Amino acid sequence: PESRQTKDFFKYGYIMRMSNSFKVPIKPSFISLDSDSGQFVIGEYAQKYKKELCWFTPGQEDEIHTKPLYKKMQGVASHDDCVWIASSYGSDNNSTLYATNRESLGKPEEAKETDYPPGLEDIYLSKSTKSIWMLTEFEKERVVFETSISKLKP
């Protein structure tokens, strides 16, 4: 049954009910699924210092793998040993999409960088269309991009 509190939650007409929760070593700002490994990837946004990405399998939190990465991370996608990370630097500065291999994580100098408009935030990897979908976050001009994975490989 829908409660009034649920209906008024941040002006959304629906929310997803929690069925599980897991302890993780960071305060995640975003989540993705690495479909190759079957693991979740979570990351934390930080303004002034590098934060980490964590790969983990629910129920196996003792095997969490973390890597220190980039400032202002907003989203992540992972496929075939490639990792794409969106970083946003405010509404007046271009964003960066970093493309790297998992073994090169934590080595920004080895990442391929592609500039995007301000506010690059969410990343979705579509294996069926072999593309990456990205969204900017600012209300003034929200933009959705679709780019072939082959153009964004490290």
Residue 97 has pLDDT above 90, yes or no: yes
Q: What is the pLDDT of residues 105-131, one digit of tens each?
A: 777 788 899 999 888 988 999 988 999
Residue 103 has pLDDT above 60, yes or no: yes
Contact indicator for 79, 36 with CB cutoff of 8 Å: yes
User: Quick one: CA dihedral 98, 126, 78, 14, positive or negative?
Assistant: positive
Q: What is the pLDDT of residues 4-27, one digit of tens each?
A: 555 555 555 555 666 777 777 778
pLDDT of residue 26: 76
Average pLDDT of the chain, as a whole number? 79
Residue 57 has pLDDT above 60, yes or no: yes
Residue 71 has pLDDT above 80, yes or no: no
In this prediction, residue 47 has a pLDDT band, given cuts at 50, 70 and 90, of low
pLDDT of residue 51: 72
The 3-state secondary structure of the chain, one letter per residue: CCCHHHHCHHHCCCCCCCCCCCCCCCCCCEEEEECCCCEEEEECCCCCCCCEEEEECCCCHHHCEEEECCCCEEEEEEECCEEEEEECCCCCCCEEEEEEEHHHCCCHHHCEEEEECCCEEEEEEECCCCEEEEEECCCCCCCEEEEEHHHHCC
pTM of the model: 0.78
C-alpha to C-alpha distance for 33 and 38, rounded to whole angstroms: 7
pLDDT of residue 99: 93
